[in-house]
Structure 1
Amino acid sequence: MSNLSRINTSNAAKWWRSIDRVTLICVGILIGFGYILMLAASPAVAVRIGASRDMFIFKQVCFLLLALVIVIVTSRLSLRGVRLTAWIGFALALGATFLTLVHGIEIKGARRWIALPMMSVQPSEFLKPFFAVITAWLLTQRSVKTHFPGMIIALGLFGIVLFLLKSQPDIGMLSVITTVFLAQLFLDGMSLFLVGAGVASMVAAFVGAYMVFPHVRSRVERFLHPAVGDHYQIDTALRAFGNGGLLGRGPGEGRVKDLLPDAHADFVFAVAGEEFGMLICLFIIGVFATIVIRTLLRLLHEKDPFIAVATAGLVTGFGLQAFVNMGSTLHLIPTKGMTLPFISYGGSSAMSVALTIGMVLALTRNRVGDDLLFGSVSSPPSSPSQKVPS
C-alpha cells in the first residue's frame, strides 16, 4: 500500500485514506462467502429446474462483481452526490415498483418482479436505501429552513411506499422500511411516546396482514404450530445445521443442502451451516455485526444530523435484513423471503445492498472540504461535519 501513503495525493489514495477500511474489508469477506456458498448450493437447484449446473454460479459472479464496483463508485460520492443519487434512484424505483402492479411477474400470489433479458428485477429492493437517505434529508432540513415541511413530505412519501408494497403485496419489505423510518424519526428527536405509537401501529398492521393475506397467515401458523401446514424447507434447513455440527462436513460434502429448493437464495445460511459448521456461521454473524456496530459507533461523534440520520437508517435496514434471513432459517421467526446480503443469490438484492453500503461509506468518510465525485462541496460551509483525517 506504499502507493497509497499520505504523500500520495491521487484521488485513489485520498479515497483509500478517507473511507472506513474495516467495513470495506468486511464487505469483501461477505462477497467471498457469496462465491463459495453459491458454488456449494446452486448446482443441485439448477439441475432440479432443468437448467445448466453453472447457470446460477455464472450469474452470481456477474452480480457480485457489479456489486463490488457499485460499492466502490458509490463510496466516492460527495454528500451532494449521495442526495442527488437518492432522489433520482427513488423516483425510478418508485415508478418501477408501480409498474410491477401492471406488468409485473406474479410468483406465489405476489407481483414484485419485472422481467428483463437474462434476469428479473425487484424494484422494491432499491426503495430501501434511497428512501432512507431522502427521509433523512427531509427530516433534518428543519435545522436549516425553519418552515420547511420536511416531516409532512416524508410522511407522504412513506404513505406512497406503504400503498405500493401493500398492493404487491410485500409485507416483509414494508416491515423493514417502516422500522427504518421509525428509527430515523426517533433519532431526529421524535418523542418515545410517538415512536411507541408507531410501533403499536406496526403491530396492528401486522395483525391486519395476518387477517387479510393468506400467505402471511400460513407462515405465522406454521411457525406457531409445527403440526400445521408444510414445513419441508425449514425442517430440511434445520437438518442441514444438525448435519454440519461444530466444524461442518467440509466444502462440497454437504448432502442435505441438495434437498433444499431455495438453498441458493433464502436458505443459503443453512448451506454454510452444513458444509462449514457452527463456527463459520458465528463468524458470518460476527462480520454483519461488525459492519452495523462499527458504523453506529462512528456516528456517536458525528455532528451533521443528515449524516447521522441517513447512515443510521441505511445500516439499520442492512442489519435487519441479515437478521430476518438468518433468524427465519434458524426458525427463530416466521419464514420470510428475504435474502442474506451479498451471500444469497439475486441481482436486485446484491445491487441494492451494494448501494446501501456504498452510501454508508460515502457518508462516513473523513472529509477535508473536497469530495471525489459530484461536487466539491460536501456540506454547507458552516456545517460542523467537516473532519480531519486521522
Structure 2
Amino acid sequence: MFSFARHSKSKISNWWWTVDKVSFSLAVFLIFIGAMLVLSASPSAAHRDRLADDFAFIKKQGVFIFMGLVLMIGVSMQSLRTIRRLAVFGFLCAFAGVVLTYVVGDATKGAARWIKFAGFSLQPSEFIKPVFIVVTAWLLDANKRIEDFPGMTLAVGLFLLTALSVFGQPDLGMTVLISGVWALQMVWAGIPVWLIMTLFSAGLVLVTGSYFFLAHVRDRIDRFLASENEIGSQIQKSMDAFANGNLLGRGPGEGYVKMTLPDVHTDFIFALAGEECGVWLTTIIVATFAAIVVRSMTLSMRDNNLFVMYAASGLAASLGGQAIVNMCSALQLMPAKGMTLPFVSYGGSSMLASCLAMGMLLAITRKNAAAEDKDNG
C-alpha cells in the first residue's frame, strides 16, 4: 500500500512531496482540454478517413494520454544523474530514428518525417528535441565545472549534427525551434557574441535557401505573404473559425471548422478551441503555457545549479516556443509550420514527446534534486 506521508521513505511519497505540483497540474489541465477538443473533432476526422468508428481518434488519443502520463510521472521520479543518462540514450535512439527517415521515411506534405511500422507512425524529430536540450545542458555545465573539458565545442558540434539532420528531412519549423532553444542555452552559458552572430547568419542563409529550393516551404511563405488567403485554404478556414467563435464560442461540439479543415485535430486544434469555446478558452490555453514557462524558469534558478538552469530553461522554452508557433500559425501571425500544440493536439509522437519533456522538467526542478545530485557526486 502506498503512503504519501512526509515521513515515508517510499519513492512515491518522496516524489509527491518534492515534485512541483503546480506545473504538473497545469500540464494535466492542458491534456484534459486537448482530450475534449479531440473528442469533438473525432467524428469528422473519422469520416474524412472513412473509418467505421466515429470515435476512433479519441480512443487512440486516450491510449496516448495514458502512456504519456505514465511516462511523465515515471521520468519525473528520477534523479538528475538518471535524467542525464536517459537523455544521452534517448538522443542516440532519436537521432538514429531521424537518420532512418532518410531511408524509410513516409513523405507527408513534402517532408519525410515519419516512420511507419505495425500500423503506427512515429516522428523521431519530436523526441530528439527534449533529449538534445538536456544533453546540451550537461555539456555546458561540464564546461564550467571541469577544467579543459571542451563542453562548448561539443555543444556546438551536437547542435550542428542535430539541426542539419532535422533540416534535411526537411523540417524547417523544428530546426528553427531547436536552434532558438539552443541559442537561449548558449546565451545563459556565456557564448561569445561573434559565435552567436556567425551561427545566426548561417541560419538566415539556410532559411533563405529553403524558400528557393523547398517547394512546400516556398508555398507556405507565399501564402502567408499574400494579401489575402485563397478561399478554402486551411489558414482561411482557421481564421474563419476564430471569427465565428468570437468571445464565448458556438458551444462545445457545435463548431463547423472540424468538418472542413483536415488538420483541425492536429496542427489547427487551436482554431477549434477558438470557434467552439471562444476567446475565453484560447486565453486560458495561452495563460497556462505562459504559467508553465514562467514557473519553470523561476524554479530553475532556485538552487544555483548550472545544469538545472540550462536544462529547465531550455525545456520550458521548447514547450512554450512550440505552443507559440502553433498558435501564431493558426492566427496567421506566421507561416504554417506543421507543428502540433503540446499536450493538446492529437497524436502519439506529440503527446509522448511533450510528456517526456515535462517529466524531465519536473524531475530537474524537484525540491532537493540538485542537492541530492551533489551528494551523489
- TM exceeds 0.5? yes
Task: Return the offset for 1:73.
Answer: 0.4
- CA 1:352 to 1:230, structure 2 compared with 1: closer, same or farther past 3 Å? farther
Deviations 1:168-197 (A, max 9, x none): 111111111111111111001114454344
Residue 324 of structure 2 is matched in structure 1 by 323
Q: Which residue pairs with 2:13 in the alignment?
A: 13
Aligned residue identity for 1:31: I
Match of 1:110 in 2: 111
Asked if 1 retains the 8 angstrom alpha-carbon contact of 2:229 and 2:235, the reply is no
CA distance in 2, matches of 1:66, 1:46: 22
Whole-angstrom distance in 1 between the partners of 2:374 and 2:166: 35
Which residue does the alignment assign to 2:204? 203
**Contact 1:23 1:291 (C-alpha < 8 Å) held by counterparts:** yes
Counterpart amino acid of 1:134? V
TM-score by length of 2: 0.95
The Cα of 1:364 is off from its aligned counterpart by 0.5
Identity of aligned residues (%): 41
Structure 2 unaligned regions, length at least 5: none
Q: Which amino acid aligns with 2:216?
A: H
Residue in 1 aligned with 2:265?
264
Asked if the contact 1:42–1:263 (Cα under 8 Å) also holds between the matched residues in 2, the reply is no
**Corresponding position: 1:243 with 2:244:** yes
Query: C-alpha distance in 1, partners of 2:315/2:232?
Result: 33
- What is the deviation of 1:302? 3.1
Mean Cα deviation higher: 105-114 or 351-360 = 105-114
Preserved contact between residue 221 and residue 228 of structure 1 (Cα < 8 Å):
no
Which residue of 2 is the match for residue 34 of structure 1?
34
Deviation at 1:350, TM superposition (A): 0.6
Output the amino acid matched with 1:110. Answer: A
Which residue of structure 1 aligns with residue 355 of structure 2?
354
Gaps of 5+ in 1: 371-377, 384-390
- Structure-2 separation of matches of 1:230 and 1:309: 45
Q: Pick closer, same or farther for the CA change 1:242–1:22 going to 2, 3 Å.
A: same
Q: For 1:169, what is the secondary structure of its paired residue?
A: coil
Distance in 1, Cα, partners of 2:343 & 2:239: 22
- Distance in 1, Cα, partners of 2:369 & 2:58: 42
In structure 2, what is the Cα distance between the partners aligned to 1:256 and 1:103? Answer: 34
Once the two structures are TM-superposed, the CA of residue 227 in structure 1 deviates from its matched residue by: 4.5
- Show the counterpart of 1:4: 4
Question: What is the CA–CA distance in structure 1 between the aligned matches of 2:143 and 2:13, rounded to whole Å?
Answer: 36
Cα 1:275–1:218 change in 2 (3 A) is same
Q: Is this contact kept in 2: 1:218–1:229, CA < 8 A? A: no
Equivalent AA in structure 2 for residue 48 of structure 1: R
Q: 1:153 corresponds to which residue?
A: 154
Q: Quick one: which amino acid aligns to residue 380 of structure 1? A: K
Distance 1:335 1:291 in 2: 24
* Cross-structure match for 2:43: 43
* Structure-2 change in CA distance of 1:181 and 1:262 (3 Å): same
The one-letter code sitting in structure 2 at the alignment partner of 1:273 is G
CA separation in 1, counterparts of 2:173 and 2:303? 31
Deviations 1:70-104 (A, max 9, x none): 11001001011101100111001111111110011
1:232 Cα shift? 1.1
Identify which range, 204-213 or 2-11, moves more after superposition.
2-11
Aligned residue in 2 for 1:217: 218
Counterpart mapping for 1:1-390 below 5 A: 4-51=4-51, 52-227=53-228, 232-367=233-368, 378-381=372-375
- For 2:258, the aligned partner's letter is K
The offset of 1:228, in angstroms, is: 6.8
Q: Distance in 1 between matches of 2:145 and 2:56?
A: 51
User: Displacement, 1:10?
Assistant: 2.9
Name the amino acid aligned to 1:100.
Answer: T
Q: Secondary structure at the match of 1:380?
A: helix
Contact 2:363–2:369 at 8 Å: present in 1 too?
no
Alignment check: 8 A CA contact 1:125 1:349 kept? yes
Determine helix, strand or coil for the equivalent of 1:379: helix
- Name which of structure 1's ranges 121-130 and 41-50 shifts more when overlaid on structure 2: 41-50
Cα–Cα, structure 1 residues 42 and 111, in superposed 2: closer, same or farther, change >3 Å?
same
In the superposition, the TM-score normalised over structure 1's length comes to 0.92
Aligned partners of 1:287 and 1:216: how far apart in 2?
A: 30
Matched residues in 2 for 1:198 and 1:231: separation?
39
Per-residue displacement from partner, 1:101-139 (whole Å, max 9, x unpaired)? Answer: 001111122111111223100111111000001111111
Residue 343 of structure 2 aligns to a residue in which SS? coil
1:11 and 1:252 map into 2 onto residues whose CA distance is 42
Instruction: Give 1:310 deviation, angstroms.
Output: 1.0
**Do the aligned residues in 2 keep the contact of 1:71 with 1:358 (CA within 8 Å)?**
yes
Equivalent-residue separation in structure 1 for 2:191 and 2:324 (angstroms): 26
| CA distance in 2 between partners of 1:368 and 1:250 (Å) | 44
Residues 278 and 187 of structure 1: CA distance in aligned 2, closer, same or farther (over 3 Å): same
Instruction: Report which stretch shifted further, 291-300 or 121-130.
Output: 291-300
Letter in 2 for 1:130: V
Q: CA deviation at 1:256?
A: 2.8
CA contact under 8 A between 2:72 and 2:355: conserved in structure 1? Answer: yes
Shift of 1:15: 0.8
Cα gap change, 1:82 to 1:122, in 2 (>3 Å): same
Distance 1:197 1:156 in 2: 14
CA contact (8 A) 1:40 1:252 kept: yes
> Do 1:83 and 1:134's aligned partners in 2 also have CA atoms closer than 8 Å?
yes
Identify which range, 222-231 or 124-133, moves more after superposition. Answer: 222-231
CA–CA separation in structure 2 for the residues paired with 1:154 and 1:182: 11
